[in-house]
Amino acid sequence: MAQSSCKCYCSVPCCSNNKKKFPYLSFHDFPVDEEIRSRWVRAIRRDEGLGFKILRGSTYVCSQHFAPEDTYTTPSSGRTRIKKGAVPSRFPWNDWGKGKGSQARQSVYQRARKRLRPAVLDESQEMLVPGDITEEALPVGGVTKDHDYAYHPSPGKLDGAAQRIQELELQVLSLELEIQQLTVKKQQPLIFKFCVTDEDFRYYTRFSSKEVFTVFWESVYPSASRLLYWSKAQRTAQETPSPQRKLQLIDELFMFLCRVAAGLQEKTLSSIFEVSLSTVSRIILTWTSYLYQVLGSLPLWMTREQVQATMPDKFKLYCPQLRVIIDCTEIRCETASSLLLQSETFSNYKNHTTFKGLIGIAPCGVITFISKLYTGSISDIEITRQSQILQLLQPGDGVMADKVFQIEKMLSEVGATLIIPPLKKSNQLSMEDTQKTQAIARLRILVERAICRVKEYHIWDGHVPLSMVGSVNQLWAICCMWCNYQGPLDIKGDKPI
């Protein structure tokens, strides 16, 4: 193996020798013999591949990596040559060949086994590792390998590793599936976790079924998707895109329904929906204003033709000209500290401070008129005048009411008639008056049922706080209009609503 006379570089890792810097060194090609070449490759710890290829005339090992006894100098030319079968053995990782033999550096297996034996290995179950191979067990002329990647593991270890890999892959797939399921559950609207059956929908939303709620939701969603939160609407009068919501839009409606229909307090809603108390208040105010505008834009008052087309037969028998049945109701409110406000809101009928409103229904049971709430001291006659229901009546219309509604004079001004139970003029009613009283009582019960439905919204269970005065009229109107989604009031009626 002759020394190359061209510009040469050593291919041993961590060696930067070249002919230009060290002209006194000799550089030698890899042997042609395959066995000796493979021993050179193992000795310098480099495998042929994309990053390293052995080419004749360009891949060298410098003479610094050979022992003195492995080289000789030719007398004729003075060139340094390598003895046949010699293998490079002096490298940085074995301290340039010092201490060969019994003092050679321990292999990776030996060093790791020495560290782990006191804590992990059981002497009775120790396995033979490649580092335990002695020189006597090696073939003559063999080279000891001191790196774990130079040894092939036993077939048993490969099978165990493959089984362990398969178990870990299954575990990863299971965890990925679990994460995916949790993500889907988190994205699922909260309303469908609480409301599974129609009974659940009636409790939380007061809608008669899931189907009815879905119809309502699909009708309001296009406009609700452009909602602005109440605080942002206060800051700007321009219609700008709403910020990213913390809840899905349908869950915001569900929160509002839980507050109004189920009567849950805002603190409870904050815990259920995992949002701040201020966010709950902002959502409630926003949806109150929105639903009042949307539902209020629908025509409630029915025309005379619509009333006649949906009128049950028993109404046609006793009062065929009936247009509306009216009655007043009261809801208790918080007592104000001001004596003037106390006197205005105090109701002699309830013996408490109240808000009072007028409700009118068509003979078919649909709520067709909702007045705003007034202070509890107002009379039934005055609330009828101020509610402007008289402006909706036409000549010939009949208005059914309780006998406390002495509004016959006001109705006559618009050509309408008052239908009330006959007043007792003697100690005993006549047969005709008795039958008329019973008939009117049976018909007028529908308005009592409508009022009962409105008050079944649990937001009215306690005393209305004075802090709700700004939105109480809107909430009252929303509850009244939502009653029309609950089905017929008269289950024995023969006309659909």
**DSSP-derived pairing of the beta strands 367-370 and 352-361:** antiparallel
- CA-CA distance, 462 to 455, in Å (whole number)? 11
DSSP 432-456: HHHHHHHHHHHHHHHHHHHHHHHHT
CB 340 within 8 A of CB 334: no
Closest CA to 285 of 238, 245, 346, 233: 233
Token pair in block for residue 393: 């009546």
Chain position carrying tokens 């902002």: 282
Q: What is the CA angle 485-487-490, rounded to 5? A: 140
**How does pLDDT run across 15-60, given as a tens digit for each residue?**
888 888 888 888 899 998 889 999 999 899 888 888 888 888 889 9
State the first-to-last Cα distance of the chain, in angstroms, to the nearest integer: 109
Give the mean pLDDT of the chain: 82
Domain boundaries, the chain: 1-105, 108-151, 192-296, 304-485
The share of the chain scoring above pLDDT 90, in percent, equals 44
CB atoms within 10 A of CB 286: 21
- CA-CA distance, 397 to 228, in Å (whole number)? 43
CATH architecture of 304-485: 2-Layer Sandwich (3.30)
CB 18 within 8 A of CB 10: yes
Closest CA to 127 of 94, 162, 151: 151
SS3 content of the chain, % helix, strand, coil (to 5): 45, 10, 45
**How does pLDDT run across 338-366, given as a tens digit for each residue?**
999 999 999 998 999 999 999 999 999 99
pTM of the model: 0.61
If pLDDT is split at 50, 70 and 90, which confidence band does 121 have? very low
Strand-pairing partners, residue 309, are none
Q: Quote the strand ranges of 63-145, DSSP E.
A: 71-73, 80-82
CB atoms within 10 A of CB 401: 26
Residue 407: strand, helix, or coil: coil
- CA-CA distance, 286 to 266, in Å (whole number)? 14
Chain position carrying tokens 């409103």: 357
> Looking at residue 160, what is its pLDDT?
74
DSSP classification of residue 286? H
Residue 21: strand, helix, or coil: coil
Token pair in block for residue 135: 């020189």
**How does pLDDT run across 373-423, given as a tens digit for each residue?**
999 999 999 999 999 999 999 999 999 998 888 899 999 999 999 988 776
If pLDDT is split at 50, 70 and 90, which confidence band does 330 have? very high
Compute the average pLDDT of residues 250-259: 94
Chain position carrying tokens 């101020």: 386
